[in-house]
């Protein structure tokens, strides 16, 4: 099975008798063939291997208020990921192994109660986790944001939860813009400029992309106010909303270097906005 996400090609190999059935959000991203080389390989197994997997030294633990979401350890050159069920914290869902290239992953399902013996090797949170490791090995980042294409101009609106990402997506949709995604986007550096891409969600939506031109750090205000950001201020404002794991120095440097170059080529602005259609014209009046 092949997936094309943000122009990355992911190959999923069935390694045992279990059939693969991905969540509906991934279905529109399935392709029959690819003219470009594979960027990431997932070897999917329906159960844990009989041999003992290495444990290693704990590097990072993704903790939620409800419990552990995933953790990563390292044993010599092998990285071991333990991924837990997002709906049942503490219940082990997958164990994965890979090396420092993060290109080929062995994904072992830790439990399978489906009578049809189907498995979903990308079951959340592993799917987005794999996409993150794609970005850190390429000229790309993942960011929590709403993304739109407004007459060919790709814009993102980002901020911490509650600042208005979904509200912004709705307002721009009503104004006729194409909403790429209102939660998780991938930005890629191209030969000329940058591109903006949606990623699979829990609902089905076709792959969407746009040339990327402007980023807005949003907050609710009593009037629409825009202020240009640049340099370290722009980098730090965007980095705060990027999906990133700080346990590896090279990964941190990757994000900072990528953002430092990007803010020199795209417009970055602080946007205080009124949650109605007036913000659309306010943004367009300050267009890039």
Decide: 80 and 97 in contact? Cβ < 8 Å.
yes
Residue 112's pLDDT is 58
pLDDT in tens, 96-139: 999 999 999 999 998 755 555 789 999 999 999 999 999 999 99
Task: Check whether 288 has a pLDDT greater than 70.
Answer: no
H or E element: which one contains 249? Answer: helix 249-262
Instruction: Say how far apart CA 56 and CA 72 lie, in whole Å.
Output: 9
d(CA 180, CA 187): 12
Strand order in the sheet with 40-45: 30-31, 2-5, 8-14, 40-45, 104-109, 92-98, 78-84, 67-75, 57-64
The percentage of the chain sitting over the pLDDT mark of 90, rounded to a whole number, equals 80
Architecture in CATH of 140-285: Alpha-Beta Complex (3.90)
In the chain, residues under CATH classification 3.90.228.20 are 140-285
Q: Which pair of structure tokens corresponds to residue 287? A: 């267009």
Among 15-24, 148-157, 231-240, the least confident range: 15-24
* This prediction's pTM: 0.94
**Residue 203 scores a pLDDT above 60:** yes
The C-alpha angle 167, 202, 120, rounded to 5 degrees, equals 160
What pLDDT is stored for residue 65 in this prediction? Answer: 84
| % of the chain beyond a pLDDT of 70 | 98
The reported pLDDT for the residue numbered 182 is: 87
| Residue 167 C-beta-side C-alpha neighbours within 13 Å | 14
The reported pLDDT for the residue numbered 160 is 79
pLDDT band at 24 (very low <50, low <70, confident <90, very high): very high
Alpha-carbon radius of gyration of the chain: 20
């Amino acid at each position: 099975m092949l997936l094309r996400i943000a122009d990355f090609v992911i190959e999923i190999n069935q390694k045992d008798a279990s059939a693969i059935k991905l969540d509906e959000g991934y279905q529109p991203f399935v392709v029959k063939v690819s003219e470009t080389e594979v960027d990431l390989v997932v070897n999917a197994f329906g159960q844990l291997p009989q041999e003992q997997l290495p444990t290693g030294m704990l590097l990072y633990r993704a903790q939620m208020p409800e419990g552990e979401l995933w953790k990563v350890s390292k044993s010599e050159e092998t990285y071991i990921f333990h991924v837990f069920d997002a709906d049942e914290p503490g219940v082990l869902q997958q164990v994965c192994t890979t090396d420092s290239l993060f290109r080929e992953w062995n994904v072992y399902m830790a439990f399978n109660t489906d009578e049809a013996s189907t498995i979903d090797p990308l079951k959340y949170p592993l799917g987005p986790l794999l996409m993150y490791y794609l970005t850190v090995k390429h000229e790309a980042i993942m960011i929590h944001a709403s993304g739109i294409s407004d007459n060919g101009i790709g814009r993102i609106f980002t901020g911490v939860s509650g600042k208005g990402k979904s509200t912004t997506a709705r307002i721009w949709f009503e104004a006729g813009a194409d909403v790429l995604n209102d939660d998780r986007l991938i930005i890629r550096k191209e030969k000329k400029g940058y591109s903006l891409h949606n990623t699979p969600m829990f609902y089905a939506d076709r792959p969407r992309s746009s040339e990327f031109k402007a980023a807005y750090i949003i907050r609710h205000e009593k009037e629409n106010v825009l202020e240009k950001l640049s340099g370290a201020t722009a980098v730090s404002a965007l980095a705060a909303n990027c999906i990133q794991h700080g346990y590896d120095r090279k990964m941190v440097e990757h994000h900072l270097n990528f953002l430092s170059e990007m803010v020199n080529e795209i417009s970055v602005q602080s946007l205080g906005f009124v949650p109605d259609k007036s913000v659309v014209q306010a943004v367009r009046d300050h267009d890039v």
